[in-house]
Structure 1
Amino acid sequence: MNKSYNLLFKSALNISTSIFLVKLIFIICFLASGVITTSLLRAQEVDRIAAIVNDKIISTHDLNQRVELLIFSAGLKNTQSQKLALAPQALRALIDELLQSQEARRLNIRLAAKDTSDAIKRIEKSNKIPYGQFKDLMARNGVSYEAVLSKIQSEIIWQKLVRRRLLPSVEIGEEEISNVYRKIISDSGQIQYRVSEVLLPFDGESQQKSVLDLANRLSHQIRSGKKISDIARQFSKSASASKGGDIGWIRMGELDNKVNTTLNSLAVGDVSKPILTPNGYLIIQVKDKRKLGNLKPDEILISLRQYIFFNKTNISVKELKKKNETAIKTLNNKVGCREFSKAAEKLGTPQTDLPVSLRLNELNEDLRKVARTIMLGKPSRPLISTKKIQIIMVCERQTSKQLTRNQIRETLLRQKVDMLSRRYLRDLRRSAFIDLRL
């Protein structure tokens, strides 16, 4: 089961997309209702108490920093009215993060220094930020690095907790997968929709109006040109938030009845108004439409493993190759992705439990050429440049638009873990002592 769950925690590859985008680190938890006055956001009140969560304090300074972080990462206008609108949500996010951290500490789940540094490195790499310059980038944009760091660490610790605490209770049966697979086969030739979403849950009627107001505001922002991926990473509480709200290709009938009705009325590019669902308010955007059939060459879906060694000391290509002679020889003798993965991890490249799945057109040109033709389960030739040396292994290719059983398993698992994670956090809130001072 751990193998399937790792879809949620992929490590970065040398590809054009990565789940560790800069804005990924600012995923926001549940929303809050309440009134926050203009004076809250004034600099002179940095020492006021905004909330007490069990035995910990959240100050107005903490709140101000999180609001600034939200505005920057979502690309919103930095106005006083915007700050006031986002403050309740920012406070709720800080409360949830404290609850998550406290629960992790109770369960003796620790955060290693390497966890944070590795996350920063992945962010820099995937966004082409010079090594070690992420902190300076935040400073240049007026964003508190401490606030960013706190958000990164809370994400990591919660992932660890969910993986240890919730994963063992999730089961995906073969019959469950078969039922979905048979449905997919029977729908061959029908229209599929590529959909992105923003899910905004709320706890009870007291929060419903404020969440609806926010949903309307965000829906308007997306229709006005803001990327739904940016908004999703900041505000959505669906498991798809880490992928910018992208839930992939779906068929009519897979979603809630209200959502299906709305989906049927949208053209490519259209954004819905907030839709009330059992899980909260949902905003969807249709990114593309297609009929089930064979994929174009560059749309072929592959799963792969990789070994990568970065040339941090700027040695020559010849020296770089010599330094990796042992790794090249070791990996060249491996057959199958499981053995390749074990060897690559021992050689210093962290591995996910499952191979990473992506389309050929998401790879850079050099990798795409290799991944298109290499034999399954065989290591590629070393791909050497002045910056790095890389060896990949393709584990699976999918040439049709139908999902594989493994993809269906991953989707079902993600949905169940998402539901359990939201329920766990809701229970933590209900059992905690929370004193709002604003």
Structure 2
Amino acid sequence: MQRKAARVKQTKRVAMAAALAGVMAGLGMGAPVGTGSTGAALARNLFAPRLYVNDQAISEYEIQQRVMFMKVLRAPGNLQEEAVKELISDRLRMSEAKRLGVKATAEEVTAGMTEFAGRANLTAEQLVAELQKVGIAPETFRDFVTAGVVWRKIVRDRFRGQVSVSEADIDKALEATARPRALRVLMSELVIPAEPGKEDAALALATRLSGEIKTEGAFAAAARSYSAAPTAANGGRLDWLSLSNLPPSIAGQILGLGPGDTSAPVEVPGAVVLFQLRDVARDTTAEPVKVSVEWAEYLIPDDAAEVARLKGTIRTCNELNREARGLPADRLTITKAPMSEVPKDVALELGKLDLGEMSSALTRSGYRRLIMLCGRQQVMDPEPTRDQVRDQVMNQKLSGLAEGYLAELRAAAFIREP
């Protein structure tokens, strides 16, 4: 029990350190740059420009730092490519801020860092210290936050007066906040693998199927043909699920479907997923709640016999903890978080599990990821005020305008390699 408690308390820090240590090793950054000729050459290569955004350089060092930082955030996709895209976007944001004379004060940046670190139940100083332990510079975190702070200020100034939030908008948002947690849904899933380099093909297939499937029979046939989920043989059919057990972004899509409808493609790490709603059960007496989950993720060699053994013998997370005794710390992590903060691929598996059940549908780098539900708790939150909801709706509306604004800046930019 002590070992489990320590894991729960430290899981985010342990996962952060282990993940970054692996990334650093893969990047050849396991030791400090030396003072000899090899070390000097490596230093020159690291700080040499990798590409230019207009007249501003992005160095190899910045890209490696962002890759490691994104690994901490469990970002999906090709992290090298995504890091470059994000750094280009940050350069464009900061360039536009300079052109407009918009600056972030020290207090605003500190507040942004504190808010971000709070998602991991850390102070800003604690998060910076944890990042430094594995080679991520404080400037990497600060620059990331600063770009976000100035961009929010720019967007609000640019679109002030163009976006309004009506009382009807607030009423609709409040209703949507409560309704998903008062529903159980009966649905089917179709999980299309999206291997590295084949993401576009997977998305295209999912988009085509989403438009073609009109009946439960057609969805079941497509699931048997294309789905990589264990439910494929059963036509993708799932048992009744509480909508509150699903990630909010996916629950929102399900909520918009009618019985027999198929969702738009939902992208998760390593896959694209379609859902078909078969039935809805309403509970008009249910109180609005949020769900917090505790889960274990155990990495084992991708061996069907070992997966079957563990599924047949392990019944609790304590037993899984004993099974992992003596293994490296990153092989088993136990995490507790609000459902809204759980990675989508893990959240989808947890939504299907009861306490003590285990999923083996996910993989990572040749390992099978065993996901076990250790606990699920409904958290009663104070009902948000209308002013809070107004801000949320405003931010949602501004988000779409901000993406278009950034796309315009990107289209006008001159981006080149040295």
Which is bigger in relative contact order (C-alpha 8 A, separation at least 6)?
1
- Fold in common (TM above 0.5): no
Q: What TM-score bracket applies, with the shorter chain setting the length? A: 0.3 to 0.5
Give the TM-score normalised by structure 1. 0.43
Give the TM-score normalised by structure 2. 0.45
